[in-house]
Amino acid sequence: MHSFGYRANALLTFAVTILALMCAMASISDNFNHPSPSAHVEVLNINWFQKQSKGNDEVSMQLNISADLQSLFTWNTKQVFVFVAAEYGTPKNSLNQISLWDGIIPSREHAKFWIHTSNKYHFIDQGSNLRGKEFNLTLHWHVMPKTGKMFADKLVMTGYRLPEEYR
Ligand SMILES: *[C@@H]1O[C@H](CO)[C@@H](O)[C@H](O)[C@H]1NC(C)=O
Ligand SMILES: *[C@@H]1O[C@H](CO)[C@@H](O)[C@H](O)[C@H]1NC(C)=O
| pTM: predicted TM-score of the whole model, two decimal places | 0.83
Distance CA(158)–CA(88), nearest Å, equals 10
pLDDT tens per residue, range 54-74: 999 999 999 999 999 999 999
Query: Could you tell me which residues are beta bridge partners of residue 62?
Result: 45, 118
Longest distance between any two alpha carbons in the chain, whole Å: 85
Using a 6 Å CB cutoff, which residues line ligand 1? 44, 64, 66, 114, 116
Residue at 107: amino acid letter: S
Predicted pLDDT at 1: 54
Mean of pLDDT values over 127-146: 97
pLDDT tens per residue, range 72-125: 999 999 999 999 999 999 999 999 999 999 999 999 999 999 999 999 999 999
Is 28 in a helix, a strand, or coil? helix
Residue 135 has pLDDT above 60, yes or no: yes
Q: How far does the centroid of ligand 1 lie from the alpha carbon of residue 47, in Å?
A: 18
Pocket flag, ligand 2, residue 162 (CB < 6 Å): no
Identity of the highest mean pLDDT range in 9-18, 25-34, 37-46: 37-46
Residue at 119: amino acid letter: N
Ligand 2 pocket, mutate which of 88, 136, 155, 161 (most atoms under 8 A from CB): 136
Residue 31 has pLDDT above 70, yes or no: no
Is 46 in a helix, a strand, or coil? strand
Residue 14 has pLDDT above 90, yes or no: no
Q: How far does the centroid of ligand 1 lie from the alpha carbon of residue 77, in Å?
A: 27
| Spatial CB neighbours of 163, under 8 Å, sequence gap ≥ 6 | 46, 49, 131, 132
Ligand lying closest to the C-alpha of residue 67: 1
Q: How far does the centroid of ligand 1 lie from the alpha carbon of residue 83, in Å?
A: 18
